[in-house]
Structure 1
Amino acid sequence: MAVRHRIETSHPWVLVLDNADNLRLFGVSHATQDALNPGEHASSLDKFIPRGPRGQVLWTSRDERISGGIVAARRAIKVPKMTPSEAKELFESARNSQGDSDEANYIEELLDELEWLPLAISQAAAYMKRTLTTVEEYILKLRDGKKRWKILKQSQSDRHRRPEVSNSILETWNISMKYLQTENKTAHQILHIHAFLDNQNIPIELIRQAALYVEGSNDMDHIGETHSDDSSSVSDNDDDKVNEAVVRLCDFSFLSVQATENGSRTYKMHKLVQEATRYGLNRKERKKEESYFSLAAFEIISSLFPANQPERWNKHEKYITHTQQACEWATLCGREILASDLLASLAYHLYNYTRWRECEMMAQKVYKLRRTILGDSHTKTVTVLELLARIFQLLGRYKEAEEMLLQILESWQPIHGNRHRRTLRARQILAMAYQNSGRDEEAEKLILETLSLQQETLGKKHGDTLDSMVVLALIHTARGKYEEAEELAMEILISRRQAFGHKSVESIVSLTLLSEIYRRSRRYKEAEGMAMEALTLHRETFGHKHPRIIRSLAKLARTYQEWGKGEKAEELAIEALALTQEIFGEVNTNMIESMDILGRRYHETGRYKKAEEMRAKALKIQREIFGDDHRRTARILADLGATRLAMESTKPSEI
């Protein structure tokens, strides 16, 4: 008290209380914790803080409750996130060097990687200055998993900081995390579970699931259910705990609210906070905790992508990046094989949604994982190779697809023989690769051999046998053998309807096949009927916003265009394009077909400006997804050239 009195009698005076994170020391109560520990911190340090008109107290704290708790809310100043220009200025000041034009992009990339966090920026700049490291070299070290922690954990000297307090970016949050653990265990453990998930677009439902898991429920039956904010399936008590935990995490800036287009409540976590959390768990004495939290993240996210329930996948699109991150850490809890299965389910989800590039990256990851864990000849390894081969075909990379399928046959056939189901599947996909690359005779010969063996070993009605019949029907169509193709397609449709029902995906796809055969043979009325029926069934089965609806609309539009019903074709193509943009954004393979139809329609009706814009967009997307070597790229390029030539010979007023 004597010290307080001495300060108060001075004039003027300023007292700085830095890092006042434990506000309970100064009389700011926490209702839940105080109820559990009524005697703890009964005496407050607040009575020792000087007051009076002669001076001021300047407080700094990571806990936002200081506003209104110790400092009047109107006098509290929240330090906002650094702007890019402020971050750049700090970086150059700490490095004592202005960035030149050659490294401007690298500096921007580095600041983005560090998410404009002042301590991280100043530490990076000090390291570069001390070691004569370039910005590009520093970024490479950050992206090298083995070097990342080594470089981030370094504590640069700071004469303004107490020597016993670490200045490392990976350790600076330790005090707040330890305090949070004593005050709110739910918040502390939500933080640690989410260290193993994605740091952005965290839905409140996922935070709830982490809280429920934290509260001791290992029963996964309820995990993965989507709850509204006032869901009756979560007790009021649990709801209060979750909300209180989220508030405390936001108070300490471990979580922050993230704006979303549809107004839903999502959060984000600074990636360096995640990094620091995982770094703390990586210590020898905390390995059990590391395993527990990584397992919790994995089990929660696994329930959101059940392999046998694809109808749920579109509801959980928002969990894709979280799934990928949880699988990255599966080795910590011994779930590598299950992680490969989960990633495979995710790859098939992307495949079904025509996201070929993303699917390829995911399948490649699964292949490497399964090859390491299970070996080249394991069924699961071969299965993902088949998926990759299909993707390569869809992307027009027929040579790669062929090489991969031959690899499957070389490793599988000597062990299991040429009559094994997996061998026959590989031969079936290889026949498709031959057909897609224009080698129709080889394709027909191979698929006939495969089909014969499948009928002998699996039966005429087996799904694999029917799939081979589809390939043969497509080959016949490509070669102009429409009667043979139609006969096969009708047989496939009848068999699939008997086996799976009229509204099954398999049956609807068979209708689409028949429609394609009729269109190619210029039987447009019959093609329209089949396409309309397929579209209706797709809508009944999948709703009005699904990739299959887009493809059905585009195929029907193509039929109308070739039939000479341009207005109907234009109307459907516009609908398909709008739906694609709504579901996928501005770049997706489904757009190309609709844009191609519209480009042709606009060109044929003399609307060359619109045709040029549409064909230019189609070409850009085509190149981005399929590359310059794809045969459709050359055709779209030629169409665009024809439109531009027509524009040159037309008066501007008539374009």
Structure 2
Amino acid sequence: MPQSKHGAIIWTTRDRKVATTVARENIVPVPEMDESGASEIMRKYLAISALTKDDESSLSTLLQELTYLPLAIAQAAAYINEMKISLTEYKKLLSDQNNAIELLSEDFEDGGRYNDIENAVAKTWLISFEQIRRRSSLAFEHLAFMACVDPKNIPQSLLPDSEGLSRKKKTDAIGILDAFSFIAKRTDGLAFDMHRLVHLAMRGWLKRGKQLSDWDRKAVLRLSDLLSNVSQTNRTLWRVYIPHAQYAVNRKNNSCEDVINLAQNCGLCLYYDGRYFEAEKLYQKVLTYRERMLGREHPDTLTSVNNLGWVLSYQGKYEEAEVMYRRALQGREKLLGPEHPDTLASVNNFGLVLYNQGKYKEAEAMHRRDLEGCEKVLGREHPDTLTSVNNLGWVLFCQGKDKEAEALQRRALHGREKVLGPEHPDTLDSVNNFGLFFSNQSKYEEAEAMHRRALHGREKVLGTEHPHTLDSVNNFGIFFSNQSKYEEAEAMHRRALHGRERVLGPKHPDTLTSVNTLGSVLFNRGKYEEAEAMHRRALQGREKVLGPEHPDTLTSVSQLGSVLSKQGRYEETEAMHQRVLQDREKVLGLAHPETLTTVDNLGWVLSNQGKYEEAEAMPRRALQGREKVLGPEHPDTITSFNDLRHVIPQQKRYEKEAAH
């Protein structure tokens, strides 16, 4: 190199090894350009003097897509000038991977560079790709593999095993990619981000060399291996791989047996993670493939039908889920027999979707059949048997059959603690159910202990925004309401509502439950207008999603009636309670605790309208029913007794006044 005291030579290179060899300590790292500088370059290179309003709004995201790389910005501007298209149109082209690779490979004129230099971004990187391949075959293999997964947060553990190579060679391979600035290490050093444009350029390079499909398959097989042992208890091991599995599965025209197996495993991860909408897309892809390749009645096809039913049910799409579960059950009964474990799993799932639709008697029949079959085929302590015990206990609880329900719930909890452990998600489900059971019995100390355990366990095991965690948040709010701690209850219900709106959507049944329970706590705090708005929203949503006779819909009707009563709107209130009573008698039965609550509520509104003769019959009926169903010392029974004591003097005074 020429040397002189009168000047200096500036080298630029992507290769840190070259830089340290040539300049030793005289190295100046060039940081990535920020949005301000990138915007200035784009405006300078564009032929137009002023951007349109749409282009101004697209500029920021376009520059992000180009990763603020000056050469890529100059290349984009040249194409926009030549084709006379808008920034918005260019951004749409760039969003498609195949188009993006072509755009990055498009050469352009740049007066600031030598005539014989390749200007296209993708082509300038080819030199670096070749250098990496010559220097380290392992570094090149890592680069090719990373181009076939999501470019963000690539765990080092995802890279293919390099058996027989020393730790130094493995470290050197990552160091080379880092030295070329093709990857950036995350702070923990255990994961990397790949430059988005490098990711695209490498895919283009592999495609031209007819190697892309081979590397895509290697990525699919590696991910399938890592997701082959998925369970609810090892989510910390598989959660980091989900975005990469989704990337590998969701590429266009990408359906083969290896990809479908990965989609199946990834769908299960998303299901366990509470990401039901994403899981639905993958399970639908698996089902479509298996129906085409295996036929509609193949056992694997029926498994896919069942799995799709899972995620539809958890999204509150109960009618669609019922169709899937019915198909899976009928197919398995025919193919496998009525007592095969897979058939019994379908019986259980069918029972759950019937329960979610408020068809408690039909659900009970299914869960009894499932439990009897599981005890016979699998044994009393098998996890599937304990799930059957839990589900039957819950549907009995919802029908007011508390004694049998408590015995089953206790058996499920003790069995799960023994077989699965105290922090397993299924065990926490039982803990949660027991919290609700104790609350219903006004055993508040026991209920609080259960709700705290369920909430803390779910936050730890599942995360703060998992749907099951939000169930616990909501239930804790109900617990606080039952103890008249309305401020704490409101905070819990708002947290549950915001989380469910974000995770499940505004029309999901669980979200509507949060709307309803928040309305109840606002009612108890005397905020009647806000409470009315919440209950009307819950009622409208439930009528649409669940139907007019679903128990949850009737709860909303009843609670809206209570709000209207507090506002002195007694005629509207009476109409609400009459509707609820008629439907609850039909759906739940004459002696169900919720039916008796409606009887009591109707008595109050009749009394408030001076209809004392009709009013007296209501608390009397409620009292007799509650003494029989709940016992003489239950708080609700005592409430009916007090209501009757209130209405009888009113009736006598009314009769006395009428006589005069």
Question: TM-score, normalised on structure 2?
Answer: 0.69
Higher relative contact order (CA 8 A, sep 6+): 1
Kindly report which structure 2 residues correspond to 1:634-649, keeping only aligned pairs within 5 A, or say none.
634-648=512-526
1-structure distance, mates of 2:232, 2:476: 33
Kindly report which structure 2 residues correspond to 1:115-514, keeping only aligned pairs within 5 A, or say none.
115-207=67-159, 209=160, 211-212=162-163, 237-259=165-187, 263=188, 265-283=190-208, 286-287=209-210, 289-306=211-228, 315-328=237-250, 336-370=256-290, 383-401=303-321, 424-425=330-331, 458-460=337-339, 463-465=342-344, 467-468=346-347, 471=350, 485=364, 492-493=370-371, 495-514=373-392
Contact 2:347 2:367 (C-alpha < 8 Å) held by counterparts: no
**What secondary structure sits across from 2:9 in the alignment?**
strand
State how many pairs are aligned.
Answer: 526
- Paired amino acid for 2:312: F
Offset at 1:339?
Answer: 0.9
**Residues 573 and 277 from structure 1, CA distance in 2 versus in 1: closer, same or farther, beyond 3 angstroms?**
same
2-structure distance, mates of 1:495, 1:637: 39
Contact 1:598 1:611 (C-alpha < 8 Å) held by counterparts: yes
Structure 1 residue ranges without an equivalent (≥5):
1-48, 213-234, 410-421, 427-452, 651-655
Contact 2:230 2:269 (C-alpha < 8 Å) held by counterparts: no
Offset at 1:576?
Answer: 3.3
**What secondary structure sits across from 2:517 in the alignment?**
helix
Contact 2:341 2:377 (C-alpha < 8 Å) held by counterparts: no
**Residues 545 and 121 from structure 1, CA distance in 2 versus in 1: closer, same or farther, beyond 3 angstroms?**
farther
Offset at 1:628?
Answer: 4.1
Partner of 2:36 in structure 1?
85
**Residues 79 and 476 from structure 1, CA distance in 2 versus in 1: closer, same or farther, beyond 3 angstroms?**
closer
**What secondary structure sits across from 1:640 in the alignment?**
helix
**Residues 374 and 126 from structure 1, CA distance in 2 versus in 1: closer, same or farther, beyond 3 angstroms?**
farther
- Paired amino acid for 1:620: H
Q: Percent identity?
A: 25
Structure 2 residue ranges without an equivalent (≥5):
529-660
Residue by residue, what CA displacement relative to the aligned partner does 1:491-528 show, whole Å, maximum 9, x if unpaired? 64464245334553312202312431453355657645
**What secondary structure sits across from 2:121 in the alignment?**
coil
**What secondary structure sits across from 1:59 in the alignment?**
coil
Kindly report which structure 2 residues correspond to 1:50-69, keeping only aligned pairs within 5 A, or say none.
50-69=2-21
Offset at 1:596?
Answer: 1.9
The structure that has the greater radius of gyration is 2
- Paired amino acid for 1:424: Q
**Residues 92 and 535 from structure 1, CA distance in 2 versus in 1: closer, same or farther, beyond 3 angstroms?**
farther
2-structure distance, mates of 1:101, 1:138: 15
- Paired amino acid for 2:219: A
Offset at 1:62?
Answer: 0.6
**What secondary structure sits across from 1:256 in the alignment?**
strand
Offset at 1:350?
Answer: 2.4
**Residues 575 and 472 from structure 1, CA distance in 2 versus in 1: closer, same or farther, beyond 3 angstroms?**
closer
1-structure distance, mates of 2:130, 2:336: 64
- Paired amino acid for 1:140: K
2-structure distance, mates of 1:264, 1:533: 47
1-structure distance, mates of 2:515, 2:269: 31
Offset at 1:490?
Answer: 6.2
**Residues 145 and 200 from structure 1, CA distance in 2 versus in 1: closer, same or farther, beyond 3 angstroms?**
closer
Residue by residue, what CA displacement relative to the aligned partner does 1:570-597 show, whole Å, maximum 9, x if unpaired? 4443443444444554533213321221
- Paired amino acid for 1:576: A
Contact 1:156 1:168 (C-alpha < 8 Å) held by counterparts: yes
- Paired amino acid for 1:318: V
1-structure distance, mates of 2:422, 2:177: 39
Contact 2:223 2:241 (C-alpha < 8 Å) held by counterparts: yes
Offset at 1:343?
Answer: 0.5
Partner of 2:486 in structure 1?
608
- Paired amino acid for 1:350: L
- Paired amino acid for 2:30: V
**Residues 474 and 347 from structure 1, CA distance in 2 versus in 1: closer, same or farther, beyond 3 angstroms?**
closer
